[in-house]
Structure formats: C-alpha cells, structure tokens
Amino acid sequence: MALSSPEKYGAKSAATVTERLSSGKRHLGDSVVEIGLLAALMSALLILLVLILSVLENAWPILSTRFGDFLSSGLDASDAANAGVWQAMRGTLTMAIIVSLVAFPLGVACAVYLEEYAGKSLLARLTRINVRNLAGVPSIVYGILGLAVFVKFAGGFTGGRTVIAGGLTLSVLVLPIVIITASEALRAVPRSIREGALGVGATQWETIRSHVLPAAAPGILTGTVLSLSRAAGEAAPLLLVGGVTGLLTTGNQGLWEQITQGGFTSMPVAIFSYARQTGADFREVTGAASLVLLVLVVLINAIAILLRNRFEKRW
C-alpha cells in the first residue's frame, strides 16, 4: 500500500501561500487601501492645520498684548478686557484630579476582574457588552445622570452644583473607556507569564499584582491618560451639573470652600461662554481660550505617547 504524499493534504497549497506572503509583490487592492488611508490621514492633518491657523489668527491680539494677564484673569463673560482662563484651568485641573482618583482605580479593578477572574461567565459577557455600549453613549446623557445623581440625589455629599459633582460626572463618563483600554492591555500580556508565576507557587493575586499588572502598565497608563484628555474637552455634562458661564466670583472663600460650596467652571465651559458673546473682542478671547485648551490636550497626549514608548514591552 502506497503512502499518501504530503501534497495530497495541502502542503503544496501551504507552501504556495507562504511564498506569496513572503514575496515582495503587491496587489492592486492593497495599494488602493494604502493610498486611501494616506489620503484620509493627510486630509485630517490639513483640516487640523487650517483650524489651528484660524484659531491662532483670532487669538493673536490676545497673545501679543496681554497673554500673561489672560492666563491669570478669572471668568468674566461681560467684559472682554478683563476676561481670562485662570479659574477655568484650575477647575479643569481639579476635575482631572477627581477623575484620576475615582475612575482609574475603579476601571482597572473592573478590568482585572473581567480578564483574570470572571472568565467567560454570563455575568462577564453581559458586563463587557454593557461597558462597550456605555462607551458610545453621548456625553449629554452623562450630564443628565450627573444632574440626577450627584447634584440632586447625593447633593448632601457633593455640595450640589460644585466641582466635585462635575468631577464625578466626568469620572462616570470616562470609566467605560478606562475599563476597555485596561482590559485590552491585560489581554495583551502573554499567557506564559501567568503560567510561569503559577508554576513556581504564586497565588493568582500574587501573579496579577507582581507580574501581570506591571507588564500591562504601559497600555493601562496610555489609555487612562488619553481618557483624561477626553474628560478635559467635555462641556455638555458640566453645563448640566452647574458649570458657570457668566461672571465667577469667589469672594473670601478658601480653596476647600470653593471646591465644596462655590461655583466652578472649566476650559470647555469658558470657551462656550465666550463664544456666546458678540463682538470682535470676544472672538479674540474665544480664540485664545481655544488655543490654551488645544495646547493642554496636546500636552496630555504627548505624555501618553512618552509613557507608552518608555514602558512598552515587546514579547
């Protein structure tokens, strides 16, 4: 009885596929897709460049005459000569700290549970589906949630329409994004790392704490920092939970009283407030505030890129 040749079972086809993949020939469809992607990238960069030049043109009178005073002045939507972004920057920074303290630990803990403990249970599948759906919910819906929960229901804890309520609302907004990015980072850690730690006697939690989380840290840090930039650019939720759009005065209140009792604003809310006003002077103020926010978001994204390049591991 003659033995069957390997070609009969597809070895010849496998060799043909390998030869095609390793050859330098390019198909027409691949070239078309690559050209389309490059065209989309160049179009997006061109649009961004036009927007930056337009904002810079509007902001130049402020930048060239009173940029330092503009950065140190408070919110004043009634007088363009005294309008500034200091209170808006402080409010954005305060809410970013709240988001870091609330959303990131909860998001990473949820991701660890889903990826390391829950497995493929029904609860885990439903949770993953809900988290991905929540990531696509419009931000205005989170503003309604923040108004109902953090301002009305939990007003005794947050102080009502305060920066705490705004920070908690933004935390809920970015929480699904943090969970998704952290889950992807944990899923990218090779299985061999877990098996090696378990093989020498480590418990599951010791394996996660000492091996899996440090290995996934670059992806987790990148996702959480990018979530911060998303929170820094949101205006609609803050308008619903009490972001001030007019004249913001604090009187003799201390910092803690301003956080727990006083009104608050942020960079997107300040830009919205200035853009509502008429006149060329307020267009200049709006452009300058938009440029400050753009620089802030670019810095946050640059930090994310540096963290990714600094701690990235190749397996």
pLDDT digits (tens, 9 = 90+) for 109-143: 999 999 888 878 888 889 889 999 988 888 999 99
pLDDT digits (tens, 9 = 90+) for 68-113: 888 888 888 888 888 888 888 888 888 989 998 999 999 999 999 9
Whole-structure pTM value: 0.81
**DSSP per-residue string spanning 150-182:** IIIITHHHH-SSSHHHHHHHHHHHHHHHHHHHH
Longest alpha-carbon distance in the chain: 100
> In this predicted structure, what is the pLDDT of residue 21?
54
Give the pLDDT band of residue 16 (cuts 50, 70, 90). low
Which residues are bridge partners to 247 per DSSP?
76
Give the pLDDT band of residue 20 (cuts 50, 70, 90). low
> In this predicted structure, what is the pLDDT of residue 105?
92
Which domains does the chain show, CATH number per domain? 87-268 (1.10.3720.10)
User: Is pLDDT of 215 > 80?
Assistant: yes
Positive/negative CA dihedral, 240, 167, 99, 247: positive
Q: Across residues 219-239, what is the average pLDDT?
A: 86
